[in-house]
Amino acid sequence: MATAFFRTFFSLPHIEPSPKRIRVLFGGKYIVDTTAARLVWTQKYYPYYYFPAEDLPKEYIHPAGAANEGELQRYDLVVGSRKAEAAVSHHLVGDLAGLINIEFSAVDAWFEEDEQIYQHPKDPYKRIEVLQSSRHIRIELNGVVIAETRRPRLLFETSLRTRTYIPMTDCRLDLFAPSALTTTCPYKGIANYYSVRLPDGSILENSVWYYRTPLAECIEIKGLLAFYDEKLDVFVDDVLQPR
């Protein structure tokens, strides 16, 4: 429904303090428990948490194999018998000098205050808005209509393309095969997927998704289906949209 756009109001890397208490759990221990975390954007889409080096006790880090890469020092994260190889980076020069970052997926859990977060920190400059619409939406694959509705919900997410969520009863569910894929979004929750299988035998894997129990800020999309528009033909009020 719309092409992606990106914020341009600050240069990268961008660093700002976080007012939240941040805890990182690994191997049954909170290896970081700090109120001095930084939100750092090293790319356009979302930030990561970085910490002053002293916030990660040295007892939990061991020099990694290829330890020194000039601009940063890599460490293995070790707690008891648990080890995450090269999961910690200590930055030595530039704007990030003196800060460390931990690979998000390498640890067991991240907490902002007492709330667990998933995938990556939320961007404080991002907004998600879900609006009921009466636009006529038709979605096709190889000329076969797989969904058509006049009651979509449109999800507007800062810096990303608009996504259309369609009631299941307006979709060709007989063409959808459940997929084992799941993904996690810190704004919307855990997504499950379908693949589309056409009568001619052609398949488009993992091209439809839905949130069975979306997070509160996106509760309006519960049980509705979204489509991988970049690989499908999407018509809005009978006008074919660019992919």
Cα dist from 136 to 38, 142, 169, 197, whole Å: 44, 19, 15, 24
* Distance, CA of 13 to CA of 33 (rounded, Å): 24
**Strand-pair partners of 234:** 139
Tell whether the model's pLDDT for residue 9 goes beyond 90: no
Longest dimension (CA), the chain: 63
Greater model confidence, 218 or 69: 218
Please tell me whether the overall predicted TM-score, pTM, comes out greater than 0.75 for this model. Answer: yes
pLDDT digit string, tens, across residues 57-102? 999 999 987 656 678 899 999 999 999 999 999 999 999 999 999 9
**pLDDT for res 81:** 94
The residue ranges of every structural domain in the chain are 14-117, 128-240
**Short-list 51, 43, 62, CA closest to 98:** 51
* pLDDT for the residue 2: 44
Q: Quick one: tokens of 150? A: 């006049």
DSSP of 84-96, one letter per residue? Answer: EEEEEEEE-SGGG
**CATH code for the domain defined by 14-117:** 2.170.150.40
The predicted structure's pLDDT at residue 69: 65
pLDDT of the residue at 102: 97
Q: Do the domains spanning 14-117 and 128-240 agree at the CATH topology level? A: yes
Q: 128-240 has which CATH code?
A: 2.170.150.40
